[in-house]
Chain A
Amino acid sequence: ELKVEQNPLFLSMQEGKNYTIYCNYSTTSDRLYWYRQDPGKSLESLFVLLSNGAVKQEGRLMASLDTKARLSTLHITAAVHDLSATYFCAVDKSSGSRLTFGEGTQLTVNP
């Protein structure tokens, strides 16, 4: 059974600081997705990582994938309050878009 684990689960940080969220998964996969969810809202796709060494960046967020280590990271640079949300990683188990989600990391950026 595929397991996807994120850490930390809760992250409180100051504006302007940097931090990294980690996503580990238990079986081989070469597709990993990052999503954002605001409270009471839907999930919004942030990044699709398709191969070992893939790196994607959008604004203050950068995601990377190491398939050999079965690890993805989401790095936050110079955090701002608007980044406060819950971030999920999800792994494609069967190349059919059947995603297994991590527990989510609830990020709070304090002014």
Chain B
Amino acid sequence: DAGVIQSPRHEVTEMGQEVTLRCKPISGHDYLFWYRQTMMRGLELLIYFNNNVPIDDSGMPEDRFSAKMPNASFSTLKIQPSEPRDSAVYFCASSLGGRYNSPLHFGNGTRLTVT
């Protein structure tokens, strides 16, 4: 099993540009999560999906952020337009869900720098 795969690993972009982060969850996992990690705010849940359906997007900072999961093996997190305060490490994670007492399996993250 290759684990959760995220791309790109690093992204440097200028303020105002669109940024798309990608995630492939572990096959068979029906929960997918997007987290953001910063020194100031720690790990924050942005949004999570169950069976490709968004369940809770209350952590999405504002309308500039959007996430999709068109199928069970792919999800995107888009920021448009990007701002310097969006600079962070964005993690995707997947799991089998609470009924299996399954921990979250995290990808390697995307380090986003907005200048």
Chain A residues within 8 Å of B, Cβ to Cβ: 31, 33, 35, 41-45, 48, 50, 88, 90, 92, 94-104
Contacts and interface: CB of A to CB of B under 8 A. Distances in A.
B109 A96 contact: no
A55 B111 CA distance: 35
Contact of A50 (B31, B55, B93, B101): B101
B25 interface: no
- Chain B interface SS verdict (over half): strand
Given A43-B106, A97-B31, 8 more contacts: A33-B103, A42-B107, A43-B93, A92-B98, A96-B50, A98-B45, A103-B42, A104-B43
A41 B55 CA distance: 27
A49 B5 CA distance: 26
Contacts of B96: 97
Interface of B: 31, 33, 42-43, 45, 48, 50, 55-56, 91, 93, 95-99, 101-109
A102 B43 CA distance: 8
Contacts of B56: 98
A42 to B, nearest CB: 5
A99 B107 contact: no
B106 A42 contact: yes
Given A42-B107, A45-B103, A96-B55, A101 B97 contact: no
Contacts of A100: 45
A97 B45 CA distance: 11
Contacts of A92: 98
Contact of A88 (B33, B43, B108): B43
Given A96-B31, A97-B95, A103-B42, A48 B101 contact: yes
B103 A48 contact: yes
**Max chain A C-beta neighbours (<10 A), residue from B42, B56, B96, B104:** B104
